[in-house]
Amino acid sequence: MNTSGNSFLITGGATGIGMALAAELVRRGNDVLICGRRADRLAEAKQQIPELETVAADVSSPAARRELLELVRRRSPRVNVLVNNAGIQQLVDFTAGERDLTKADEEMAINLVAPIHLSALFIPYLAELPQAAIVNISSGLGFAPLAHMPVYCATKAALHSLTLSMRHQMRNTSIRVFEVIPPTVASELGASHRPAGVNAAAMPAETAATLIADALSRDDYEFALGEAANLVARREAMFPFMNRR
Ligand SMILES: NC(=O)c1ccc[n+]([C@@H]2O[C@H](COP(=O)([O-])OP(=O)(O)OC[C@H]3O[C@@H](n4cnc5c(N)ncnc54)[C@H](OP(=O)(O)O)[C@@H]3O)[C@@H](O)[C@H]2O)c1
């Protein structure tokens, strides 16, 4: 896809990878709308990048998702790319039985249910446009799980699977479906449990954003960055044989 002249909606765009991607896309001549739950972080993002439009929205809320679509329908320029980036990461210990399931439910609602519902909600709208895209941000951990964050990794594996099917279903529409598979990137994700020093050794969010924008521009529909590429190698080779219809 051409990575200038589009209008992007990036969920969770006020921090981390989403914020860096928003900055990169603005630099490349795109209109960018971001959403997130915390108004203060959205205001900070707007202060750093005045071209951004921001809206407070919790993508795990069905009502908020519908309001996002209404906003997108009303505004000009029309959003033609949805980036499902919002995510959280939790520690879940199954040896403690049901203790952590509230955290796990929130994680599933944000990381998996929200992209499913938001995509389904946006697809009829996006399909009316001559060029449109959905970009799902999964994770290398969807391919090689870390056992202390089992539900996080499972949501990302599911997002990968979902993206394959969605891309196949959208093949005769104007909507291209991308998956971006990041490695460890410096951000606030899992801040409460990230070991000290991880962010210092991680890929900077700005580097990830440049690589992601480049991948979109060359229609690299399944793009694994940095060390995540090793985790993904040779997966899904059978997919075309299973989906001939
Ligand atoms: N950093 C990594 O190492 C890494 C690696 C692979 C994949 N990823 C993925 O990359 C994506 C971005 O993560 P990040 O690393 O940039 O972390 P981050 O800085 O914590 O960004 C996540 C963003 O999502 C927003 N968010 C969370 N729940 C939301 C909700 N219910 N509704 C709307 N926005 C919500 C957060 O803002 P609010 O809290 O204000 O809502 C935050 O701005 C995530 O999907 C993550 O799983 C990250």
pLDDT tens per residue across span 109-136: 999 999 999 999 999 999 999 999 999 9
Q: Which residues does ligand 1 sit against, CB inside 6 Å?
A: 11-12, 14-18, 35-38, 41, 58-60, 85-88, 110, 137, 139, 182, 184-185, 187-189
d(CA 156, CA 145): 9
Q: Half-sphere exposure of 47 toward its Cβ, with a 13 Å CA cutoff?
A: 7
d(CA 121, CA 113): 12
d(CA 134, CA 203): 24
* Residue-level pLDDT at 59: 98
Structural domains for the chain: 7-242 (3.40.50.720)
Q: What is the mean pLDDT of residues 75-95?
A: 96
pLDDT digits 0-9 by tens, 163-211: 999 999 999 999 999 999 999 999 999 888 988 888 889 999 999 999 9
Q: How far is the CA of 8 from the centre of ligand 1 (A)?
A: 17
From residue 113, how far is each of 37, 94, 117, 120, 162 by CA, in Å? 16, 21, 6, 11, 11
Q: How far is the CA of 172 from the centre of ligand 1 (A)?
A: 31
d(CA 48, CA 46): 5
Q: Per DSSP, what are the bridge partners of residue 176? A: 133
Two tokens, residue 155: 């949501």
Q: What is the mean pLDDT of residues 64-71?
A: 98
